[in-house]
Amino acid sequence: MLDNIVGDKCTIITPRSIDRRGCQLSIRLDSATLVQEIMEARGVVCDVRQPNVLRIAPTPLYNAFEDIFRTVQELRQAISEVEKMGPYK
């Protein structure tokens, strides 16, 4: 879903192989801190590891597909808002 909706605005650094990952999703993107602040203000819980990694943990026992879909939409919107603020760094 991230590949299709957010595309080249971020890089998924969590291994794609099911055998090599847990439920945490680490995403490298410019302005991760600003994106995180926007998402948190909209009720999406995530955190940042400096300098540019946004972490989200979609846990199957707690999150429905709708939660995941909303999170990806919020990420797309937050990135768009940061881009409008000026140079995307």
* Within-domain flag for 79: yes
* Within-domain flag for 21: no
* Within-domain flag for 1: no
Q: What pLDDT is attached to residue 9? A: 86
* Within-domain flag for 52: yes
* Within-domain flag for 41: yes
* Within-domain flag for 80: yes
Residue 88 confidence (pLDDT) above 60 = no
Q: What pLDDT is attached to residue 87? A: 63
pLDDT, tens digit, for every residue of 7-63? 788 899 999 888 888 888 999 998 999 999 999 999 999 999 999 999 998 887 888
| Structural domain harbouring 30 | 7-16+26-84
Query: What's 73's domain CATH number?
Result: 3.90.1150.10
Residue 2 confidence (pLDDT) above 80 = yes
Amino acid of residue 8? D
The number of folded domains in the chain is 1
Q: How far apart are CA 25 and CA 35, in angstroms?
A: 15
Q: What pLDDT is attached to residue 21? A: 83
Residue 89 confidence (pLDDT) above 80 = no
| DSSP one-letter string for the chain | -HHHHTGGG-EE-S-SSGGG--S-EEEE-TTHHHHHHHHHHTT---EEETTTEEEE---TTT--HHHHHHHHHHHHHHHHHHHHHSS--
Q: How far apart are CA 82 and CA 67, in angstroms?
A: 22
* Within-domain flag for 40: yes
